[in-house]
A and B are shown apart, each in its own frame.
Chain A
Amino acid sequence: MSAPEIETPVNEPIDVNPRAEDVIAFPTGLPGFESCRRFVVMSREDAAPLCWLQGLDEPRPAFLAIDPALVLENYRMRLGPADHQRLDAREDDPLLWLAIVTIASDDTATVNLRAPIVINPRRMMGFQVVPHESLYPLRHPLSF
Chain B
Amino acid sequence: MLVFTRKREEAIIIGDGIEVRILRVGQDSVKIGVTAPPSVPVHRQEIYDLIRAENEVAVRRSGDLHKVIARLRERVGHT
Contacts and interface: CB of A to CB of B under 8 A. Distances in A.
B75 interface: yes
A103 interface: yes
Interface of A: 9-11, 27-28, 30-33, 46-50, 61-64, 81-83, 85-86, 100-109, 112, 114-115, 127-128, 130-132, 138-139, 142-144
Given A11-B65, A32-B56, A104-B63, 9 more contacts: A27-B39, A30-B55, A49-B78, A63-B58, A63-B59, A86-B41, A102-B58, A114-B51, A130-B41
B56 to A, nearest CB: 5
A144 B39 contact: no
B62 A105 contact: yes
A103 B51 contact: no
Interface string B52-78: 111111110111111111001101101
A46 B62 CA distance: 19
Contacts of A11: 65
B71 to A, nearest CB: 8
A106 B63 contact: yes
Q: How large is the interface on B (under 10, 10 to 19, 20 to 34, 35 or more residues)?
A: 20 to 34
A130 B47 CA distance: 7
B74 to A, nearest CB: 9
B58 A132 contact: no
A46 B64 CA distance: 14
A50 to B, nearest CB: 6
